[in-house]
Structure 1
Amino acid sequence: MSRLHLLAKDVRENPYPFYAELRRSSPVCQVDPNDMWVVTRYDDIVATLKNTQVFSSAGMRIATEHPCLQRKNPISDSLIVADPPRHGNLRNLINRGFTAATVSSLEPHMRATAARLTDDLLRRRVVDFIPDFACRAQFSVMARLTGLDPSLEEHFNRWTADLVSVGTIPPDDHARIGEVRRTIDEMERCMQDLLATRRSRMEDDLVTDLLRLRVNDSALTESDVIAFLFLLLVAGLETTITLMTHLALILARRPVWMDRLRAEPGLIPGFIEEALRFEPPAQAVMRLTLAETELGGVRLPAHAMVVLLLGSALRDEARFEDPDRFDPERRAQASLAFGHGAHFCLGASLARTQARVVLEELTRRCRRIELRAERLEWNVALNTRCPLALPVEVVPA
């Protein structure tokens, strides 16, 4: 087969047949754009994620930096691009402010928000699920978690879209580069204002917790907190919005599951796990080789950019029986959808809880979610895969 281009239109529309062919014929190989190396098999990806001595998280910088931006993106100093020992030190501090109790305390707010937004869907009937439900639901949770003003929702939707696109902007697209630079400036000022407000008036929120944290006399610097908030708000918004969007799309395409989940709400957690496997919100993570190494029988040079295709790993025939069949009763835990090992996503429990609450409200109140588009257009990004719009009609139960 000709060299795969990860951002080609037909690959974005349905990457899974292309991934399957790579697993069969070239499980570790070079692709476009930029001659990156891809890894497609489950076991190879897990081994790579465990081997931080050779495969550095600095590879994620390709998705957070652009040579023409002429300023640092705070996400480039966050947990997602840190290696040991800095990663462990940061994570030990941040873990203290991001506990199971925090997630549990947010559930009543999640449920009230999901109920209110479902009311709105049922009143309007024909909507774009992404801005009208998924974005509003998740920003409400992020605002509650961090203490951000809920009126900033529109700004954060735009900022998130800009920051997710950084790694795919052509170097000659000066207008787009300028827009992203302004986005980073605006978002950083917003975070600085939030920290200044919290230093003068502490509240019961995550930002206050992060400012108060001390572990072995260590504290997070202002830059550390801003970098984490950039990561939390961009990744937390983008991945969970994408998860909710895929849940709605799966229900629209498989209406029998609306009936089953309404009749048996206990099936909802398994449905979410299968959705995470079948359509993972994070399609890929990047690593950088620190030395020449061998993986899957292929020699990788030092300083090679390596793309770990999580979307391929979660459909690996060696790991999952009949992997292209959506089957919530297979009881496969899709933890790899949130990473693995030291970089396992801090927000995994929050995303799963939000997804469960949303599904409980939607399936209880709606009889059908019907797709109102013959063909969907997909975003262009290395890390995530999501429709640009999801027009649906919501039918009451």
Structure 2
Amino acid sequence: MACSDERFDIVVVGAGPVGLSFAASLAQSELKVAVVEQQSLERLADPAFDGREIALTHASIRILREIGAWDAIPASDKSPIQGARVLNGSSAFALCFDPPSGSGEPLGVLVPNCRIRDALFKIVRSHDHARLLCGHSVVDATNSHKGAVMTLSDGRQLTARLLVAADSRLSATRDLLGIGANINRLGNSMLICRVRHERVHHQIAVEWFDHHQTVAMLPLMEGVSSLLLTLRSNEADKLLAFDDDLFLTELTNRCQGRLGNMTLTSNRHSYPLVTTWAHQFWAPSAALIGDAAIGMHPVTAHGFNIGLSGQKQLAHRILTACRDRRDIADPDMLYRYESWLRLSAAPLYYATNLLVRLYSGEHPAARLARHAGLRFGQYLPFVRHGISTMLRR
């Protein structure tokens, strides 16, 4: 039997930004929470720059502000997106997304992933409600309507009324719970780096679907952008192995000089692209949040926003159950959480997958269809305004 200090109301597996935000969302409650993370406490407390810039919607900014994380992120790490352009191949035509006239607000804000993690970690660490169990993984888990029992890699056993998996789109905890998932390994990788460049970006993000590659240029501080290049994984690996001079030459050629001359201002990072959709988002005394539930393709930059809104919904339902003195793992409550997440995320998830298939296809019909699609969207204002409104929610 587990010792008394190994009993918790909730155990969260995974201290990524969604797992930490969930723990932070419960900070004002009396619930006893544990967060289990494979990384060491030192690495969690000082997250390294990993290349990823998170495009936050206004809804996500509100959530981060509510839990105290937004104001903890330095203003110098917040880069507004004043507009977005979508390009196809060598065509000069662009589908444009801009904030509504007179709104005075950007479409969204780019923030480095590591800065979000750092702010959330400090919030969780500052509250007594959560205990961080770092340097350990969950090697076994059983769940029933009576609760969940987990065994850690050091042999310790934890018990909880509710187990919450937030440990990536290839979640080992999800597997231990017996929850299947549609996992699509795309065979592509995203290569990311920061570059300083001679041309002005005007805080406009650019997504360029070219033949056999996708390029995204995300505006950061003046004269600096985050450059994302999506290629077949073997091509990305070759580029990653180039020295800096050869890499920059290749990058400039692939971008067709759109940013002018460039210099590297960060290390290069590469991530294989995998999308996931769990068959269920809950089980008896267990729930999935973040990428463990839904792993989005990054082309629409909405994966973290969906994860953040999902954890807020689950946390709100748990806090309401506490207030009403109901079970925090009530099956009806978890089912309603799952239904909400499916309804809110499914349209964007499947539309994104369709978009990726259309814009990565090299058949002449696909090229014609995507060119026509951009013009269709540009000349039907409700399409552009609808997407812009969604980004600003």
| TM-score of the superposed pair, with normalisation by structure 1 | 0.22
Identify, as 1 or 2, the structure richer in strand: 2
| TM-score of the superposed pair, with normalisation by structure 2 | 0.22
Identify, as 1 or 2, the structure richer in helix: 1
Say which structure, 1 or 2, has more relative contact order (CA 8 Å, 6+ apart).
1
